[in-house]
Amino acid sequence: MEDGAARFGEYLTYERRYSPHTVKAYLTDLGEFQEYLESQCGVHDLMEADTKAIRSWISSLRQAGQSTVTLNRKISTLRGFYKWLLKTGQMDRSPAQGLRNLKKPRHLPEFVAEEQMNEILDNDDLFAGDKDGIRNRLIIELFYDTGIRETELINIRCCDVDEIMLCITVHGKGGKTRKVPITKDLCSRLAELKTGDKENFIFLTGKGNKMYPKLVYRIVHKYLEGTQGITRTGPHTLRHSFATSMLNNGAPLNAIKELLGHANLSATQIYTHTSYEKLKGTYNKAHPRA
């Protein structure tokens, strides 16, 4: 079934337009499931798996301590794979049909408070005056000022920065694009990173290559490390910080949804809980009978 998995990967890449990272994760999941089928069920073809085998695999992974998020992605992988087999006429029934995601424990997103972000961004001593220092500061600012995702920042090209409309065209999940407004000052400083070729990426490594996720994480971690009140110091924390700051300053939830590129409002509503917790904390500190 290796050829089938490879064709499924091509389908995800070219028809569904999934990111290379997502495609790799899906194919890894399929490979792990096939190994389980062979070792535990004596089945050598993914097309011969049944619902019982799938449930048994997920149960074994759960007992091994894998997170609910990871398990749900593996369930999604199998649903998508067998749905594709049905669509292409290779099977007439999906063993993953009716398989539901596991209920995720609800965690409030961590965020950096506005005062803390201002201390970071207004501290010139934190950022070197060389090319890398200027780039790093812009990365932190862009994450906090727009709430874009890590992959979206990495894929910004020179032509995506519009100095007239003061916005960036962001290439999001599933090949979707959206325009995100930025300040005139930030736009001008981003424009300084532009090279002669408009198709070149804005953010580059010290060697002039395209940025990669681990480097972006290390840059963000460097400036967030030690910030009081947070344990997660990656780009997604700055995305949460943007959304929380917007909500606390009166931005409508629907507007935040569009800026973040969420497919539905339910994904954005978690920030109302974050805002409520802040309000509750203020009440507990300030009210004499709290």
The question of whether 236 is a catalytic residue gets the answer yes
User: Pairing mode, if any, of strands 167-171 and 177-181?
Assistant: antiparallel
Q: Which two tokens stand for residue 283?
A: 């009440």
The question of whether 271 is a catalytic residue gets the answer yes
Residue type at position 102: L
Task: Out of 16, 62, 73, 173, pick the active-site residue.
Answer: 173
Task: Out of 178, 179, 236, 278, pick the active-site residue.
Answer: 236
The question of whether 240 is a catalytic residue gets the answer no
Task: Out of 149, 171, 240, 257, pick the active-site residue.
Answer: 149
Nearest to 267 by CA among 276, 258, 278: 258
Residue with tokens 């300040």: 183
| C-beta separation of 89 from 208 below 8 A | no
Q: Which two tokens stand for residue 178?
A: 């959206």
Task: Out of 74, 79, 137, 239, pick the active-site residue.
Answer: 239
The question of whether 276 is a catalytic residue gets the answer no
List active site positions.
Answer: 149, 173, 236, 239, 262, 271
